[in-house]
Amino acid sequence: YIVMKQSRIAVGLVEDMAYIRTFIRGAVASMRTFTLSLEAPSAEAMLESLDAAAELPDILLVDIGLSGMNGYELMRILQKRHPRIPVLALSVYKEPFAVIQMIRLGARGFLEKERMEELEAALDCVWDGGVYFSGGIPLEWKQAAVSGVGPVMLTRQEKQALRYCASGFTFSQIADTMGVCEKTAHEYKSKIFRKLSVHNGSSMIRVAMGSGLLRIGERIPSWEEEMSKKKRGGESRRHNP
């Protein structure tokens, strides 16, 4: 990580893409009111920097799609360790889930990376105590984000069904693996779609990966493996009543 001398309103940045860090560094350097005081390539590095910092940043820019610990997970920790630092979320995706979840987790704004020309206005708004949304964010997303409802949460069964859907299980296979009827398997998927604000399977997987509900590269067992494991579990219970 990089620590820089503080002056004016100090901004911290956590972003894993080097070229975006370079761009934001240059953009903030041209601003009269703000200065970049702390910079880190990962959530883990930023948390270490904040814990060791003599002076905390006044505002923190947080990329949602960080590798390793993502922006949602970092936001939860920041709310516990450093709740007084206002956070402006950055994202390459303009998804309803991303906007709503980050604001409900405590972020004070959401800025699309394609609209970096709005960065100074966004920082001004957050510093003044407001909540900033990129231009083009639909009104219904803004209203849902600031509605006072808690963050979106999936139940244990919904998380399990999500993993099976991502692995290409049919509804029949999901039902067999989870020990439910097909109607219940359909209901799990419908609830996941509603909670993630998506309308198809590819969007569900993309949003789930972006939110950390699914990990890129995570191996999900096949239906045959799941059923074999379930069968072994049943046999073990019969032999060990």
Pairwise pLDDT comparison (27 vs 147), residue with the higher score: 27
Question: What average pLDDT does range 118-138 have in this prediction?
Answer: 96
Question: What average pLDDT does range 41-52 have in this prediction?
Answer: 96
Question: Encoding tokens for residue 34?
Answer: 């703000």
- The pLDDT value recorded for residue 115 is 96
CA distance readout (Å), 36 to 25, 75, 89, 126: 7, 20, 16, 15
- The pLDDT value recorded for residue 74 is 96
Name the band, by pLDDT with cuts 50, 70 and 90, for residue 166. confident
Question: What average pLDDT does range 12-35 have in this prediction?
Answer: 96
Q: Considering the chain, what is the average pLDDT of its residues?
A: 88
Name the band, by pLDDT with cuts 50, 70 and 90, for residue 27. very high
Question: Encoding tokens for residue 133?
Answer: 């949304």
Angle in degrees, CA 197, 154, 174, rounded to 5: 95
Question: Encoding tokens for residue 2?
Answer: 């990089």
Q: How far apart are CA 75 and CA 72, in angstroms?
A: 5
pLDDT at 93 over 60: yes
Angle in degrees, CA 61, 62, 65, rounded to 5: 150
Block residue for tokens 């947080």: 62
pLDDT at 232 over 80: no
Q: What is the pTM of this model?
A: 0.79
